Amino acid sequence: MSLVGMDQILQRALRGGYAVGYFEAWDQYSLEAAIEAAEELEAPAILGFGGAVADVAWLDGGGVESMTALGRCLAERSRVPTALLFNEAQSYPQILRGLRGGCNAVMLDSSELSLEENIAATRRVVEAAHALGATVEAELGHLADASDPDKAAPRPTDPDEAARFVAATGVDALAVSVGNVHILTEGEAQIDLDRLAAIYQRVQVPLVIHGGTGFPAAAIRPAIERGVCKFNVGTRLKQLYLEGIASALDALPPSPNVHDYVGSRSERDVFGWGKAMVKAEIKRLIRLYGSAGKAGASS
């Protein structure tokens, strides 16, 4: 099955009444956790990495190409339909490098822009990506950021603006602000389902929820019924990765053989402990989103 378009994956989810998780990765272990979980549950997968929480100098110094190469390798040999997304790229040149490197889905972080600036920037991305057969996700509105209260206040997505934005840009998927929160580590977000329904009535593309870590489980099914086909999750996965590694380090013998515990890929590998916890959480979320067993779905 290997690499397929993210637009295909999301359109199938929209028709099938389920959602697909984008489980943001940051290294090879986390990429493997995401694809292995999807394969074991026979679920479609969206692999990828993000630019919003990575060092820009590292990304621009070859990080985009490195992560793209890792993700592309896993996606091409995947046993389930898999797309490769560069999420929240910080600049148009980064978008181009991701596309040239092999990402078949991209998203520019444009939430700080005005509506007119966002339309212009997104249209430029769409032109470049569609010319290569790649999917484009864009964001309209601005999410609260629980990690930094001094950042700009949240700006909910306006349904009328959403309709205009989608028509003017030609995007394939739209990330929305309906009470969801970035990097929420305690409690749950308060989701405005009425706003979500109003947006869905005005646009003809799959909707996306960023800030999936703090998204309430009780709102997942109602959100899917209102056009949400993709949930982005990252913060919770990194928390679990650190917890797994910390547990592994606590269990080290007095004089460990470092080759057994660092990068051996054996049961002793400390990074493997983190990977196992990430993978278990991804499998839980895949079931929650309803995409388990949907790898072969055609309608």
Kindly state the percentage of the chain with pLDDT values over 70: 97
Which one has a higher pLDDT value, 204 or 86? 86
Find, among 2, 1, 5, the residue nearest to 206 by Cα. 5
Q: Where are the beta strands (DSSP E) in the chain?
A: 20-23, 45-50, 82-89, 105-108, 135-140, 144-145, 173-176, 181-182, 207-209, 228-233
pTM of the model: 0.95
What are the chain's domains?
6-289 (3.20.20.70)
The arithmetic mean of pLDDT across residues 134-150, rounded, is: 87
Q: pLDDT for 233-278, tens place per residue?
A: 999 999 999 999 999 999 999 999 999 999 999 999 999 999 999 9
Q: Name which of 1-5, 172-176, 201-205 the model is least confident about.
A: 1-5
Q: If you average pLDDT over residues 147-163, what whole number do you get?
A: 84
Share of the chain above pLDDT 90, in %: 90
- Tell me what the pLDDT averaged over the chain comes to: 95
How high is the pLDDT of residue 142? Answer: 86
Please state, in angstroms and rounded to a whole number, the distance separating the CA atoms of residues 281 and 33. 10
Q: For 224-237, what is the mean pLDDT?
A: 97
- Tens of pLDDT, residues 29-58: 999 999 999 999 999 999 999 999 999 999
